[in-house]
Chain A
Amino acid sequence: MSRDHDPSVVWARQARLALVIARKDAMIYYLKAPVITFGLIFPVFFFLAFAIGRAVPPDALVPGMLAMAVFFSASAVGPLITPWERQARTYERLATSPASLEAILLGDLLAAAAFGAVVSLIPLGLGLAVTPAHVVAPGRLLAGVVLGAVAFGALGVLLAARGTDAPSEVMMLSNLVRLPLIFVSGVFVPLAELPAWSQWVGFLSPLSYCVDLVRISLGETGVFPPWVSAGALVAFAAVFVALAALLHRRRRFAGT
């Protein structure tokens, strides 16, 4: 078997290419002052707009704020990368390179997840510093932040797969999907306190599982066992990436 077709060689090569693409994304799209600022400020202010004036202990705000930061930062830029690259005609260069579609999507996902996880450290530090909140289960916190960032990055990759070259259209779609998720995922009000119908909708949102893991890690009561939340986040990520690959393939076959 030639090296071109040896599965272990192919996998290793494609994994390396995913890292190359993730680094490219970070350099071009993520490591920009406006993106970092927006990734931090938007979730914090959005959360405070809902929290201020309500009789909620400050430490109870931390899990929601942290989950929001992970959610918004990990899914903010990803949906726009493919449309931007299609518009700038750099996507054709990537697609005709030896990187597989999966490596390209994985690279986009890795960049988004790393950005989301790193940016969320700031609201976490802030929350721990200025409120009585403290971490009781670091492993679960890590799982919530990292797996949440992966699932939300994958959501961004899926949103980017829509057949359009216009970033504005994707931006609208992205907000249309992401904003409602905040209200049904137990960010502001714990999932257990939501009406039954809302809880069922919340079960379909990856954000619910991230928030739940973070709540547990900060000593609050969760709705799901941690392994269920972790498994759900992994499953969401896998489904989102698989759907994104399907949409890209379909588009490539349709020639649009």
Chain B
Amino acid sequence: MDAVETRGLTRRYGPLVAVDHVSFTVRSGEIFGFLRPNGAGKSTTVKMLTGYLAPSEGTALLDGHDIVRDGLAARQRLGVVPEEANVYQDLTVWQNVMLMAELYGVPRVRRTRHGADLLALFGLDARRADKGRSLSKGLRQRLMLCMALVGEPAILFLDEPTTGLDVASARLIRETVSRMNRERGLTVFLTTHNLDEANELCHRVAIIHRGRLAAVDTPQALRSTIEARRSVEVVFTVAPAALPPVSDPGAVIETFSDGAGVRIYTSMPGAAAQEVAAWALDSGLDIESIATRAPSLEEVFLAVTGPRAEAAEARR
């Protein structure tokens, strides 16, 4: 059974369609990334999936339970870390965690043990008696994760979990989520605009643009959809007098580092690398480094949501 399944999920605010017939599935045990530019309908989608907002149309099933018609059972399976820190400021770290455990019906002995384990895991055990208001943003975010995980969820919703955090907190959160996914099979629905994070963590990613689903696939497969953005990067010890010849007629060449570096965008970066190396040998040029590059997720994202994509959309 899929952990999350949406069918034609739609949300309208008057004439504005914030989410437009979005359908996708998240498999059990998967880390699913939800990428978006601002205002693309990402937050609205997450609010519908977590039962905070009613859809105007369509359905969402969480672990087989309809989030509207069977909301209590569906929400019992969720852990949610909303975008902004929202721990109870007047409760201590421990009280915040225990409150959530009680809301999820975790029995006393188990919640005490599990809560203590989570605080230790996220480096908060020394702060357990401190009020929520005394925590830094990074520590609050760690506490939010403890609060989301203490209910032993099957699906964890993380909304921009590392935005604005210190490096140590961001790394700890990424590593812990990744480990829980590997070791316990926790399904994670991660919304982020941090493409490196999505690339590092996610098994599959969806890109939502203007309320519509623009693409869903593995990061590797999405990158391969824009073959033309594959490239080879060569850095010479001194800038060559001329650009290296490349047999691919569709190749685009640009220079960097005052002409000492050459980047060739081509669908055949391996062949281009060999050609450049042979040309450098013939020309008596020394190569400092040479590397082929797949397009980044950022480039995929721009290709899917950028001006060209919008022009294509308008033409359709």
Contacts and interface: CB of A to CB of B under 8 A. Distances in A.
A93 B73 contact: no
Given A4-B73, A97-B103, A252 B86 contact: no
Nearest to B144: A93
A95 interface: yes
B306 interface: no
Contacts of B65: 4
A247 interface: no
Contacts of B54: 252-253, 255
Contacts of B11: 255
| Majority DSSP secondary structure for residues of A touching B | helix
14 contacts: A4-B73, A4-B76, A20-B102, A89-B86, A92-B80, A93-B80, A95-B51, A96-B82, A97-B104, A98-B72, A100-B71, A253-B54, A255-B47, A255-B54
Interface stretch (B88-96, B178-186, B290-298): B88-96
A8 to B, nearest CB: 14
Contact of A90 (B53, B71, B72, B88): B88
Size bracket, chain A contacts? 20 to 34
B105 A89 contact: no
A90 B75 contact: no
B306 to A, nearest CB: 28
Nearest to B98: A20
Given A27-B90, A92-B82, A20 B72 contact: no
Interface centre among B76, B86, B89, B147, by most A CB within 10 Å?
B86
B105 A98 contact: yes
A28 B78 contact: no
Contacts of B104: 97-98
Interface in A58-110: 88-90, 92-100
A17 B99 CA distance: 10
A5 interface: yes
Interface residues of B, number: 36
Given A20-B99, A252-B52, A98 B82 contact: no
A249 to B, nearest CB: 8
A10 interface: yes
Contacts of B103: 17, 20-21, 94, 97-99
B100 interface: yes
B217 interface: no
A28 B91 CA distance: 7
Nearest to B83: A89
Contacts of B102: 17, 20
Nearest to B157: A96
B84 interface: yes
A13 interface: yes
B81 to A, nearest CB: 9
Contacts of A89: 82, 84-86
A96 B75 contact: yes
Given A98-B104, A252-B53, A92 B86 contact: yes
A27 to B, nearest CB: 7
